[in-house]
Chains A and B, each alone.
Chain A
C-alpha cells in the first residue's frame, strides 16, 4: 500500500520504477500547487497543464532530487521555473500601457451583490497580474500570494536577492498604477502591518530541509 507513506518512501518507489507511487505524490500536492499555478498562468486550463508538465518534469528529474529540501519545495520550484520558460513565459494579456483599471462600484457590506463584486475585484487583480512580464509576475506571486521571503525567491529563480528586490519594486509600481483606485492612498485604512506565514500551511510545508523520515511500521 502506498497511501500514508511519507514522501521519501514514495520517491524511492518511483525511482525503482513504481509510477503509481508518483501518482500518490501528485494527488498529495496538486491542490496546494494549483493556486500558485493559476496566478502564474491566469487561466485554469493553463494552470492544469502547467502542473501536469511540472509533475512530469519532476518525475524525469527524480534521480537528481537529493532530499535536501522537501519534495513540495522542489516541485514548487519546478512549477515556477516552468511557468517562466517556453510558451508560458509570455504575458498572459498583452500590456497596452499602464491605464488604470476601473474598479467595481462600491457597495455596503450587507449588499447581496458583494460576492459578485468581490469576484470582479479578483478578476481585476488577476488581470493586472497577467499584464506584468513573466518575471515580474512570478516574484509578485511568490512574495504577495505565497508569502515567500526574498532569499527563498532568489533561490528558486537562481538570481541575487537584489534582483528580487528590484523586480518586486518595479512590479509593485506597475500594479499600483493599474489598480490605482483599489489601492488609493486616501481610500484605504491606516496600515496594520501583519506578517503572514510563508505558505499559509502547516510548518512541514515551508521551505527548508526535508523533515526526518518517519519509520515505516512494516520495516
Chain B
C-alpha cells in the first residue's frame, strides 16, 4: 500500500470496507510497518475524540422552551392568505393594523375566486368551497426566535382535563375506527376565524339524527394530516344514515350554495385524525325526540284545564276536584325503544378547513 491510499486506510479505520477490503488492508499492515504506524495514528486520533467527556446539560431546558412556546402563542397572530403570511404581535396598539391587514386581504381574496371543485360522487367526499379564506391561527412563527430570558416551569396538566380529553379521544376514535367510514364532507372557511365551523356545528347540532352525538377534532395549523387537504381545520365525525346524510347535504347546500365538490378519504387520513390528540365530543338533537305542542290549536291532544282544588278542614293535602291529567303512560311517545330500531348509519367526516382551497 502506498502513501496515496489514505482514503482506503481511513475507510478501514471507519469500518466502511467490505470483508475483502479489510483483509487486503490487514495483510498489507502485517508486512508494512509504516502503514501500521499510520493506522495507529488514526486510531489514536479517533480514540482521543471519542473519549471526550459526555456531560449532561445540568439544567432542564424543557421549562424555558415550553414557556417561550406558550408565550409566543399568546402574543402572536398570523394572517395567512394563500402563500402569503403576515405575522403581527398581539399588542393593543397594533390591533388597528391587524384589522386593516385583514380587510386588505379579504378584499384581495374576493377578487380572486377559486377554481370550482369537482362534483359530488357517492363513496367520496363533498367539498364546499368559496373564495380563498383568511386564516387566523395562533401558532409558533417561522424565523429566528429570541434567546430565552428567564426560566419558567412548564404549566402542570390538570388531571381532570386530561381525563376528559382521554374519554373524548376514545369516543371519537371509536367513531373513526368504524369499518363503514364512507365519505368526508369538506367545507372551506371562507370567512375565516371559525365562521364556517360554527355554521356547520349549528347544522349538525340541530339536525335530528338517530345517533346525535358527534366528535370534533381540531387540526392545528402546520399539521398535515392529509397532504391533499393541508392547513388548519376542524373535523367533525358524525354517524348518519342515507336519509340523514341527504338532509344534511341539503342543509349544507342551502348554507353554502353552489360550492359542493367531491374528494376521497384514505384510511391513513382517518387513522391520523383519530390520533390527532385534540378532540371533543358534542351532543346533537336526537332524531326520535318529538316536541309535543301543548297549547291549542296546534296541540296533538287538547290539554285539559287545571282541576279545581279545594281545601277541606281535617285533610292535610288539598283535595283535587274534576278531571285529572292523563297519566304519562297514556301520552304517545317515540322513545328509546323506537330509536334502537333506527339504522345507525355510517360515519361521515365533515372537514371544515381554514385555508386556501384553490390548491385542492
A interface residues, Cβ below 8 angstroms from B: 1-2, 9, 12-13, 15-20, 22-24, 26-27, 30-31, 34-35, 38-39, 48-49, 51-53, 55-57, 59-60, 62-64, 121-122, 125-126, 129, 140-141, 143-145, 147, 149-150, 165, 168-169, 172, 175-176, 179, 182-186, 188-193, 195-196, 200, 218-219
Contact = CB atoms under 8 A, between A and B. Distances in A.
B277 A12 contact: yes
Given A20-B155, A51-B61, A218-B166, A39 B45 contact: no
A-B residue pairs, 6 tightest by C-beta? A16-B278, A16-B277, A63-B222, A23-B62, A144-B49, A185-B37
B40 A56 contact: no
Contacts of B63: 23
Point out which of B29, B53, B66 has the most chain A C-beta atoms below 10 A from its C-beta: B66
A17 B62 contact: no
A122 B52 CA distance: 6
Interface stretch (B12-20, B239-247, B254-262, B301-309): B12-20
B61 A48 contact: yes
B216 interface: no
A147 B46 CA distance: 10
Main SS at interface, chain A: helix
Contact of A48 (B12, B57, B70, B275): B57
25 contacts: A9-B275, A12-B275, A15-B276, A16-B223, A17-B218, A56-B68, A57-B145, A62-B223, A63-B222, A63-B223, A143-B14, A145-B49, A150-B14, A165-B11, A168-B10, A169-B6, A172-B10, A172-B42, A185-B40, A188-B41, A188-B44, A189-B40, A191-B36, A191-B39, A195-B15
B314 interface: no
Interface residues of B, number: 68
Contacts of B12: 193
A17 B41 contact: no
B277 A18 contact: yes
Given A12-B275, A149-B16, A62 B222 contact: yes
A19 B145 contact: no
Q: Which of A19, A140, A176 has the most CB of B within 10 A?
A: A19
B57 to A, nearest CB: 5
B170 interface: yes
Interface string B148-179: 10000011010100100010011001000000
B66 A13 contact: no
A183 B140 CA distance: 48
A121 B69 CA distance: 40
A173 to B, nearest CB: 8
Contact of B61 (A39, A55, A60): A55
Nearest to A63: B222
A40 B204 CA distance: 55
A141 B52 CA distance: 10
B35 to A, nearest CB: 10
B55 interface: yes
Contact of B45 (A22, A34, A175): A175
Contacts of B13: 193
Nearest to A149: B16
Nearest to A140: B49
Contact of B62 (A13, A27, A185): A27
